[in-house]
Amino acid sequence: MTSELFSPLPLRSGQVLGNRVAKAAMEENMAGVGQLPGPELFGLYRRWAAGGAGLLITGNVMVHAEALTGPAGVVLDEAAPLEPFAEWAQAGRSGGGAVWMQINHPGRQTEADMPGVVWGPSAVGVDLGRHSGRFGRPSAMTAEQIEATVRRYAVTARRAEQAGFDGVEVHAAHGYLLSQFLSPLVNRRTDRWGGSLENRARMLLDVVRAVRAAVSPSFAVAVKLNSADFQRGGFDADDARQVIAMLAPLGVDLVELSGGSYESPAMSGRPADARTQAREAYFLDLAKDLVTTSPLPLMLTGGITRRRTAERVLAGGVALVGMGTALAVTPDLPARWRTGREADRHLRPVTWSDKALASAAGMAQVRHQMRRIAHGAGPRPGTHPARALVCEQLRRRRALRRYRTWLATGRATARPAAR
C-alpha cells in the first residue's frame, strides 16, 4: 500500500497520527535527580515537537529501578512521582503530534559497574570479544522474576497513560531483555520460556497482554522488534514474521522493525551481515518481505535521512517511517521536507575498525547533538567521535555516582520481593 508521507495514519486503538514520519527512540541518557525527566528532556522534546513529525517516541524508560542500560536512565515505576513525566508528555505533544513512551528492561545488556541486577533468560553473557568485560555476568531469571518483570511493564504503561502520554512502545529489539528471550543464541532455557519460538516469545506476549489490560482501549500499544539480529543461528526474518502474527490478536497498534544488538550493531549501520550494508534504510529489504504477510502496520527505522528514501519505504508497503540520528542533527527535518528542503548537515562518520568501540562513539556523537538541542543550541555534527566519547564517559561517571547513592538510599523500601 503506497501512502503519502504527510497523510494521516489511523491505528487500531482509534488514535490517528498526523503524518507518516516518526521520531524513533534514541536513548537520551539525560535523567535528572531521582532518575526523573527534567529540563533537558523537556527542552529537547519541545524542539522535536516543533519539527513536524507526527509521532515522537521517547528513548528507553526503564521498568525496573535496579536494571538500567546506563546510570542516567529514566525510571518510571510504582514509586516514581508522575509530575515530571506529565511535563515531559506535555512537551512532546506541544507541536500537535502524538508522544509514546518506549518502555524497556536491559536484561544482560547492563554494564559491569552498575549496581542492581544483571538478569537474562540464561546465564549467557554479552560477547564483545575484548570488550566483553564491559557487561555484567547475567544470572538466569527465575519464574518469579519473570512474572514480576511482566507486572513492571504493565505498571509503567499504566502510569505513562496517567501522565498524559498517548501510547507506549514495548522494546523487544536490539538485544534487550525481551529480545534476549526471543533469541535462540541467548535463551537456552528448557522450561516454558525456552526451546520453541512459541516458548521464547512467551514473555513478550505476556508483557503485551499485561500492558494492554492495564491501559485504556484508546491508548496505543506498539512493539519494537528485530527484523533479524544478524547473528548466525539467531533470531531471523522468519521468526519475526511468526512473532508479528502472534502479536496481531493482542491489541497491538504497530510493530516497529529494526535490527541488531550490542553484539552486532546493525541498528547503527555497522552490522555483521551484508544485507544491511546500504547507506540508507538498512532494513528495507527485510521489511518489504515482512509487509507481504504482516497483519499489523509496520514502522521502519534505520538510516533514513532523505525524503526520497522515506517515500521509497512507504512505497514498499511500510506504514510509518522512523528516523533517529537524522533528527538529532536536523530536528526540523519533517517540516523541511514539507517545503522541499533537505538536511544540510550530516553526522561525522565513525570509520574505526573496532566495531564495538565505533558503535559506542557513534551513539556518543548522537547524544552530544541531543544535549546541544536540549540547551537551545544548534547541533554540531562535525564533533570528533573521540571527543564525544570522552565527554560521554565523564558525564557517565558523575551519573553513576548519583545513581548509586539514589539506589542505596532513596529506593531501599521500594525494592521488589522477587530478586
- What the chain holds in terms of domains, given with CATH numbers, is 9-410 (3.20.20.70)
Point out which residues pair with 131 in neighbouring strands. none
**pLDDT range class, residue 127, cuts 50, 70, 90:** confident
- Element at 31 (helix H, strand E): none
Q: Which of 255-264, 267-276, 405-414 has the lowest mean pLDDT?
A: 267-276
Please tell me the distance from the alpha carbon of residue 177 to that of residue 150, in angstroms, as a whole number.
11
Nearest to 285 by CA among 261, 305, 302, 264: 302
Please tell me the distance from the alpha carbon of residue 375 to that of residue 40, in angstroms, as a whole number.
7
Nearest to 368 by CA among 395, 406, 333: 395
- Span 357-370, average pLDDT: 92
Please tell me the distance from the alpha carbon of residue 140 to that of residue 121, in angstroms, as a whole number.
5
CB 365 within 8 A of CB 385: yes
Nearest to 31 by CA among 403, 415, 387, 389: 403
Q: Is the pLDDT of residue 411 over 90?
A: no
Q: Is the pLDDT of residue 171 over 70?
A: yes
CB 121 within 8 A of CB 176: no
User: Cα dist. 78→18, 126, 159, 257 in Å?
Assistant: 32, 30, 8, 30
- Span 231-255, average pLDDT: 90
3-state SS class at 95:
coil
- Span 393-398, average pLDDT: 95
Q: Is the pLDDT of residue 227 over 90?
A: no
3-state SS class at 227:
coil
Nearest to 211 by CA among 172, 257, 256, 260: 172
Query: What's the confidence (pLDDT) of residue 262?
Result: 57
CB 260 within 8 A of CB 175: yes
Query: What's the confidence (pLDDT) of residue 232?
Result: 66
Query: What's the confidence (pLDDT) of residue 69?
Result: 93
**pLDDT range class, residue 412, cuts 50, 70, 90:** very low
> What number of other Cβ atoms are within 10 A of residue 95's Cβ?
20
Query: What's the confidence (pLDDT) of residue 272?
Result: 38
**pLDDT range class, residue 359, cuts 50, 70, 90:** confident
Please tell me the distance from the alpha carbon of residue 136 to that of residue 8, in angstroms, as a whole number.
44
Q: Tell me the longest C-alpha to C-alpha distance in the chain.
A: 56
**pLDDT range class, residue 278, cuts 50, 70, 90:** very low
User: Look-up: residue for cell 520460556?
Assistant: 193
Please tell me the distance from the alpha carbon of residue 67 to that of residue 310, in angstroms, as a whole number.
35
Please tell me the distance from the alpha carbon of residue 78 to that of residue 313, in angstroms, as a whole number.
39
Q: Which of 45-54, 177-186, 286-295, 331-340 has the lowest mean pLDDT?
A: 286-295
Q: Is the pLDDT of residue 166 over 60?
A: yes
**pLDDT range class, residue 302, cuts 50, 70, 90:** confident
Please tell me the distance from the alpha carbon of residue 132 to that of residue 83, in angstroms, as a whole number.
39
Q: Is the pLDDT of residue 280 over 80?
A: no
- The three-point CA angle 63-66-70 to 5° equals 85
Please tell me the distance from the alpha carbon of residue 157 to that of residue 16, in angstroms, as a whole number.
19
Query: What's the confidence (pLDDT) of residue 3?
Result: 54
User: Cα dist. 401→119, 371, 394, 404 in Å?
Assistant: 22, 20, 11, 5
- Span 278-301, average pLDDT: 82
Q: Average model confidence (pLDDT) for the chain?
A: 90
| Residue 74 CA from chain centroid, whole number | 13
**Would the CA dihedral through 245, 247, 252, 258 be positive or negative?**
negative
Dihedral class, residue 116 (left if φ above 0, else alpha if ψ from -120 to 50, else beta): left
CB 332 within 8 A of CB 52: yes
Q: Which of 57-61, 175-179, 302-306 has the lowest mean pLDDT?
A: 302-306
Nearest to 113 by CA among 399, 356, 417, 357: 399
> Residue type for 183, please?
S
- Element at 213 (helix H, strand E): helix 202-214
Query: What's the confidence (pLDDT) of residue 281?
Result: 61
User: Cα dist. 105→233, 245, 410 in Å?
Assistant: 24, 23, 20
Selected residue with higher pLDDT from 281 and 253: 253
- Span 364-382, average pLDDT: 95
**pLDDT range class, residue 260, cuts 50, 70, 90:** low
Q: Is the pLDDT of residue 414 over 70?
A: no
Note the helical H segments in 279-346. Answer: 284-291, 307-315, 325-329, 333-338
CB 91 within 8 A of CB 133: no
**pLDDT range class, residue 190, cuts 50, 70, 90:** very high
Q: Is the pLDDT of residue 264 over 60?
A: no
For the entire predicted model, the pTM comes to 0.92
Please tell me the distance from the alpha carbon of residue 257 to that of residue 254, in angstroms, as a whole number.
10
